[in-house]
């Protein structure tokens, strides 16, 4: 009888220990997209992710909370951009508001990548219903954090999420400038 109780207790203890081991968290893939920014340049999500995680916030001109969040994140972005953080301000304003959006973004001096989702394709692909809604997308293209709504102080919780996905040290960006070729002596001349 003692052996049976011992075996039962041991079996329960092993079961509890195994249940306490967290499973690997699985994340949903964020749909890729290409949109133009306020300067007319085409921007693709997968290309951005090569440089680090992306926080994408859906906003429009009438959304006061969207604008408040994007304003509040500026100091956070400034302190973390060297570690690879990128922020997309995804405007879902109508095509007829494009000039107003461009003027507004310029007046705000947002350092973000400001994209125009005038046909609401990305908004639909990401199932965005409420503004502001934002997603943190890791370098594998997975949505690792979702933030809906905004109230003062949320930027601290958002920053905590950024820190989970950024490297400890600044990311060294390789220069894309062409290196000058070494001068070669002309044929028939010798090196001096």
Question: Taking a C-beta distance cutoff of 8 angstroms, is the pair 127, 30 a contact?
Answer: no
Sheet of strand 54-59, all strands in order from the earlier edge strand to the far edge: 28-29, 142-148, 133-137, 54-59, 86-91, 113-116
> Do residues 143 and 30 lie in contact, with contact meaning Cβ atoms separated by under 8 Å?
yes
Reference 68, options 145, 183, 158, 142; nearest CA is 158
| 29 three-state secondary structure | strand
Give the active site residue among 58, 63, 66, 114: 66
Q: Is the peptide bond before 132 cis (omega within 30 degrees of 0)?
A: yes
63 is catalytic: no
CA 131, CA 140: separation in Å to the nearest integer?
A: 25
**Residues catalogued as catalytic:** 66
């Amino acid at each position: 009888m003692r052996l049976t109780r011992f075996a039962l207790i041991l079996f329960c203890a092993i079961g509890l220990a195994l249940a306490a081991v967290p499973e690997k968290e699985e994340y949903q893939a964020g749909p890729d997209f290409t949109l133009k920014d306020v300067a007319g340049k085409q921007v693709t999500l997968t290309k951005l992710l090569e440089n680090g995680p992306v926080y994408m916030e859906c906003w429009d001109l009438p959304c006061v909370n969207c604008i408040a969040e994007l304003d509040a994140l500026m100091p956070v972005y400034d302190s973390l951009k060297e570690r690879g953080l990128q922020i997309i301000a995804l405007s879902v304003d109508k095509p007829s508001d494009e000039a107003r959006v461009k003027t507004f973004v310029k007046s705000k001096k947002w350092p973000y990548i400001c994209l125009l989702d005038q046909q609401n394709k990305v908004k639909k692909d990401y199932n965005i219903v409420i503004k502001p809604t934002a997603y943190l997308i890791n370098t594998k293209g997975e949505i690792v954090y979702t933030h809906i709504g905004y109230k003062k102080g949320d930027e601290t919780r958002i920053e905590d999420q950024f820190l989970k996905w950024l490297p400890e040290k600044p990311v060294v960006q390789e220069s894309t400038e062409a290196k000058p070729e070494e001068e070669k002596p002309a044929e028939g001349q010798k090196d001096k």
